[in-house]
């Protein structure tokens, strides 16, 4: 479990994690990225038990393997993760996304706007349910509860997208 001595009634806390530049076949970097995610969560949970992450991936919102594993582990332990693409671009199209993806699509929001909205969502909806203990596969009922809660968050993020104006 990620929580360690957190304060129960403190205001929600959110951090932004920008994925490291691509480095193929570097397992030590992958492990460091996963550890870095867990460390950031632990620091947040020192001040509040209600925490979230805004993750900024590459230009399509894709994370390096270690970062992705760390963020997925965070979601499975009750920490909502909003996925953004670098440079305020749209993330992967629905057809390109993994069906098992547990990230909230931040769309075209800036990291600052996504952080503010995630803080509001945490205050309004609370944390996500935990779906598994380390080393076990999540039960279908646990995943269903998690996805149901994620839909509340996603609805808010979908309704707060900036309007696009094309100039020529």
Which has the closest alpha carbon to 94: 60, 55, 117?
60
Decide if 167 is inside a domain.
no
Examine residue 137 and state whether it is found in any structural domain, yes or no: yes
26 in a structural domain: no
User: Residues with Cβ < 8 Å from 42, sequence gap 6 or more?
Assistant: 2, 4
pLDDT tens per residue, range 2-58: 544 444 567 999 999 998 766 666 666 667 888 889 999 999 999 998 999 999 988
Q: What is the pLDDT of residue 165?
A: 65
Q: Say yes or no to pLDDT of 106 above 70.
A: yes
Distance CA 127, CA 22 (A): 31
pLDDT band at 61 (very low <50, low <70, confident <90, very high): confident
The whole-number pLDDT of residue 97 equals 55
Are the C-beta atoms of residues 48 and 11 closer than 8 Å to each other?
A: yes
- Which pLDDT score, from 0 to 100, does residue 124 have? 95
φ/ψ (deg, to 5) at 85? -100, 145
For residues 81 and 53, is the Cβ–Cβ distance under 8 A?
yes
pTM of the model: 0.83
The residue among 87 and 83 whose pLDDT is bigger is 83
Structural domain includes residue 68: yes
- For 61, which DSSP code? S
Domain coverage including residue 123:
13-21+31-159
Q: Provide the CATH number for the domain around residue 57.
A: 3.40.50.40
Whether the per-residue pLDDT at 92 is higher than 60: the answer is no
- Given a cut of 60, is residue 67 above it in pLDDT? yes
Domains in the chain, number: 1
Per-residue pLDDT tens over the stretch 127-156: 999 886 556 677 888 889 999 999 999 999
What's the whole-number mean pLDDT along residues 55-69?
A: 88
User: Could you identify the residue written with the tokens 């706007």?
Assistant: 113
Residue 96 lies in a domain: yes
């Amino acid at each position: 479990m990620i929580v360690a001595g957190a304060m129960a009634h403190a205001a929600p806390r959110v951090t932004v994690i920008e994925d490291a530049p691509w480095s193929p076949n570097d397992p030590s970097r992958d492990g460091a990225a996963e550890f870095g995610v867990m460390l950031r969560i632990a620091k947040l949970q020192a001040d509040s038990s209600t925490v979230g992450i805004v993750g900024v991936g590459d230009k399509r919102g894709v994370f390096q393997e270690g970062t992705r594993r760390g963020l997925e582990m965070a979601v499975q332990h009750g920490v909502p993760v909003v996925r953004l693409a670098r440079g305020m671009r749209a993330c992967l199209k629905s057809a390109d996304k993994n069906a098992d993806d547990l990230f909230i699509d931040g769309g075209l929001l800036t990291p600052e706007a996504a952080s503010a909205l995630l803080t509001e969502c945490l205050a309004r909806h609370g944390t996500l349910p935990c779906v598994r203990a380390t080393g076990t596969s999540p039960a279908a009922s646990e995943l269903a509860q998690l996805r149901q809660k994620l839909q509340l968050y996603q609805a808010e993020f979908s309704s707060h997208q900036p309007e696009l104006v094309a100039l020529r």
